[in-house]
Amino acid sequence: MTSGKEDYLKAIYLISENHDVVTNKELSEMLHVSPPSVSEMITKLQKQGYVDYTAYKGSKMTRKGRREAGKLLRYHALWEVFLVDNLHFSWSEAHEIAEGLEHQTNDVLSERLDDFLGHPDHCPHGDPIPRKDGVRVGITNETLADLEVGDSTHIRRIVEDYSLMDYLQSKNISIDMAVTVKNKEPYEGPILLETEKGDISLSYKAAQQIYVDENK
CATH at 100: 1.10.10.10
185 secondary structure, DSSP code: -
* Residues with Cβ within 8 Å of residue 202, at least 6 apart in sequence: 144, 168, 171, 173, 190, 191, 193, 210
The CA distance from 105 to 83, in Å, is: 15
What is the average per-residue pLDDT within 201-207? Answer: 96
Of the candidates 87, 69, 85, 97, the residue with the CA atom closest to the CA atom of residue 162: 97
Same domain assignment for residues 159 and 126: no
Residue 132: pLDDT band (50, 70, 90) is: confident
What is the average per-residue pLDDT within 51-75? Answer: 94
Are the CB atoms for 52 and 59 separated by under 8 Å?
yes
Tell which of 105, 138, 171 closes a domain: 138
Same domain assignment for residues 50 and 79: no
pLDDT at 133: 84
Are the CB atoms for 143 and 188 separated by under 8 Å?
no
Same domain assignment for residues 191 and 162: yes
Q: Is the pLDDT of residue 198 over 70?
A: yes
Q: Is the pLDDT of residue 216 over 60?
A: no
**Predicted confidence (pLDDT) per residue in 67-125, tens digit:** 999 999 999 999 999 999 999 999 999 999 999 999 999 999 999 999 999 999 999 99
The CA distance from 145 to 189, in Å, is: 10
Q: Can you give the residue range of the structural domain that contains 185?
A: 144-212
Residue 141: pLDDT band (50, 70, 90) is: confident
Residue 180 in domain: yes
Residue 23: pLDDT band (50, 70, 90) is: very high
Q: How far apart are the first and last CA of the chain?
A: 43
Tell which of 85, 108, 138 closes a domain: 138
What is the average per-residue pLDDT within 192-197? Answer: 96
What amino acid occupies position 77? A
